[in-house]
Amino acid sequence: MSIHPIENRYGRAEVRKIFDEESKLQKILDVEAALARAHAKLGNIPNADACQISKKASTRHVKLARVNEIERVTNHDVMAIVKALSEQCGDSGKYVHLGATSNDITDTALALQLKEFLNFLSDDLKNLKKVLLGLAKRHKKTVCIGRTHGQHAVPTTYGLKFAIYASEVQRHLDRVNECKQRLLVGKMTGAVGTQAAFGKNAVRLQQEVMKELKLDSALVSNQVLQRDRHAEFMLDLALISETLNKIATEIRNLQRTEIGEVSEGFGKKQVGSSTMPHKRNPIYAERICGISRVIKANAFVALENIPLWHERDLTNSSAERITILESCILTDYILNLSIDLMKNLVFNHKNIERNLRMTPQVMAESVMIKLAERGMGRQDAHELVRKCAMESYSSKKTFREILLKNPKVRKHLTEKELDSALDPEKYIGTAVEQVNAVVRKLKN
């Protein structure tokens, strides 16, 4: 019986599998096997016993059902795995888990899980960036109204919007890559970090284990890897989710009936409402926004996990069993949802044009700059155009009519020059060049 929505509604099967109990058990067994082989390499245990442990350190032999059965008696998950593995190894079982504490195994196994997940995460971000760059390139000359404070501001382009998003996604890729050196780390340091139980070659033993597992060795730790590493990662996931939240929120706003510039794709048999047959709701965008809240909340939990008592306590453990796998699975899910959303965006160019020309006063800045170029002081030009704009709001005359009748405006600008300054298509500055620069820089 499934309980959590990630079991049957949210999340991709291949990513869920990384964090399921069977896969987690195998990663723990992989660490136990690497520890045994490192002991043998250093002459701490016979090589034959290390080979036997490695052979049996598989879920083909160590069954999850047996581990759970033992845990019901021991009330200790790692010890249950140690016992289940030892049962399979015969006399060699006496060397299983030699010198290790639970978190030597579980923290290192978690690093293996996260290493596998990061491959998916990086691919997701690259795929989203590619889609956004494609949109930026296709719509670099699609002029639309820009909005600040929810109000019409000055013209911009859809290409510039998408280029900004693509640049943000690239920063997330950079953060993820930078995080790896601190996150993909394992340890073999024992009960409080002194490595006392591993003997005189303990430092080398840790190095050998991590070399086999293709992880870095912690420089120093106590009973656990310090949780600033995991908090950084969870904050990275939260940052990614908030970018997706931002993009989805913009799509939701632009899909408002009154704006109607872009909208989600809508399937032929898709239902928007159980009672209103006409509805075409932005359900993907809303789902992205909603799930991002969970990922952000989990990042706060990760911060709370940093201050543990003395050499460690268990307050982080129970929380991490929920938050880490949840945030990983959900981040991957909304990244792929965002890719689909952006691939299937529908543009209503008629409404884009309508909204662009709905508020002629948005060209006030353009007129002000043109007047300043022709010799009027910038502050004087600002006040002159401001008054003309305010008058146009309260009168039946158009902004153009009021400007044309103003003697100071006509002194500096001809009617043709004024019309040019009032054309939103001609007031997008370097937007196209900026998009081209972003596409060139980020295309690889």
Owner of token pair 């067994």:
29
Q: What are the tens digits of pLDDT across the range 42-94? A: 999 999 999 999 999 999 999 999 999 999 999 999 999 999 999 999 999 99
Q: Choosing from 149, 274, 278, 310, which is the catalytic residue?
A: 149
Owner of token pair 């989203």:
128
pLDDT of 404? 95
State mean pLDDT over 270-284: 72
Owner of token pair 């008592």:
309
Q: At what angle do helices 21-41 and 64-74 cross, to 10 degrees?
A: 80
pLDDT of 137? 97
pLDDT of 403? 96
pLDDT of 5? 87
Name residue 143's beta-bridge partners: 157
pLDDT of 271? 64
Report percent pLDDT > 70 for the chain: 97
State mean pLDDT over 230-255: 97
262-263 and 151-157: which strand pairing? unpaired
149 is known as an active-site residue: yes
Dihedral, 53, 55, 59, 62 alpha carbons, nearest 10: -40
Is the confidence at residue 277, as pLDDT, over 70?
no
Q: What is the value of pTM for the model shown? A: 0.94
pLDDT of 279? 64
E-state strands within 95-220: 143-148, 151-157, 185-186, 216-217
Is the confidence at residue 162, as pLDDT, over 70?
yes
Q: What are the tens digits of pLDDT across the range 349-383? A: 999 999 999 999 999 999 999 999 999 999 999 99
**13 burial class (0-12, 13-18, 19+ CB within 10 angstroms)?**
exposed
DSSP 347: E
4 is known as an active-site residue: no
Domains by residue range for the chain, with CATH: 115-190+219-353 (1.20.200.10), 359-428 (1.10.40.30)
Could you tell me the maximum CA-CA distance found in the chain, to the nearest angstrom? 103
Q: What are the tens digits of pLDDT across the range 108-121? A: 999 999 999 999 99
The count of other CB atoms within 10 Å of the CB of residue 150 is 7
Nearest-angstrom CA–CA distance, 223 and 232: 20
151-157 and 185-186: which strand pairing? unpaired
DSSP 132-167: HHHHHHHTTT-EEEEEETTEEEEEEEHHHHHHHHHH
Q: Choosing from 4, 76, 273, 349, which is the catalytic residue?
A: 273
